[in-house]
Chains A and B, each alone.
Chain A
Amino acid sequence: DAGITQSPRYKITETGRQVTLMCHQTWSHSYMFWYRQDLGHGLRLIYYSAAADITDKGEVPDGYVVSRSKTENFPLTLESATRSQTSVYFCASSRAGVSKNIQYFGAGTRLSVL
């Protein structure tokens, strides 16, 4: 049972570069989410998706792009990375129905933008 996997686990990039963080889940969950965790802020929602080809902005979407062509994948792209995007990024998923609010998280990607 692979669950939800994120890759890479660690990434160092330079300002202005494009970088894509990958998220893959094997549960066929309808919903997928991207959060970032920064010191002093807890986890903040970047984008989420209710199904393939349906995405919506969260609390801090600026500078990020998402897509969801397949139910199991939800990549997050930083089109032109900035130092303020240095953070730990978590992907999560949840099933539809009564349990829709219980989200299951990946192990995270630690991104450093130099």
Chain B
Amino acid sequence: DQQVKQNSPSLSVQEGRISILNCDYTNSMFDYFLWYKKYPAEGPTFLISISSIKDKNEDGRFTVFLNKSAKHLSLHIVPSQPGDSAVYFCAASTRMYSGGGADGLTFGKGTHLIIQP
């Protein structure tokens, strides 16, 4: 059963507008969430993260919102630029506050963001 879901396989947005990518999760033990960006033939690149004790984290054009009660997070990109065209993965971990070392991240299937000129 998928614990991290990205229900939109693709999203098309006009350059300069806001891009909103969504992610839902089912495991209430997740306490840390990350967004990765991936270009073809490259590895995923860390973009931004948020811990479960916060509801918003901002870094330049990128903002991640977390709604714990709805088990939902979103990534906002404002303004969208052509270089933002990529696949975006939502990922989650259970190990931020539960103690112990790191273990693997649980990833969604990704959303392909296309920025149109």
- Measured CB to CB, the residues of A under 8 A from B are 30-31, 33, 35, 40-45, 48, 50, 56, 58-59, 90, 92, 94, 96, 100-108
A104 and B42 contacting across the interface, CB-CB below 8 Å:
no
17 contacts between A and B (CB under 8 A): A31-B101, A35-B104, A42-B4, A42-B89, A42-B108, A43-B107, A45-B104, A90-B43, A94-B102, A96-B101, A100-B101, A102-B46, A102-B49, A103-B46, A107-B41, A107-B42, A107-B43
Q: Which of A59, A104, A105, A108 contacts B104 (CB 8 A)?
A: A59
Q: Which of B4, B36, B46, B95 contacts A100 (CB 8 A)?
A: B95
Most buried by A among B41, B91, B102: B102
- A42-B110, A101-B49 are known; give 20 further A-B pairs, CB within 8 A: A30-B101, A33-B104, A42-B89, A42-B109, A43-B44, A43-B105, A45-B105, A48-B102, A48-B103, A90-B44, A96-B102, A100-B102, A101-B32, A101-B93, A101-B96, A102-B34, A102-B46, A103-B102, A105-B45, A108-B42
A105 and B101 contacting across the interface, CB-CB below 8 Å:
no
- Measured CB to CB, the residues of B under 8 A from A are 4, 32, 34, 36, 41-46, 49, 89, 91, 93, 95-96, 101-110
Q: How far is the CA of A12 from the CA of B45 in the complex (A)?
A: 26
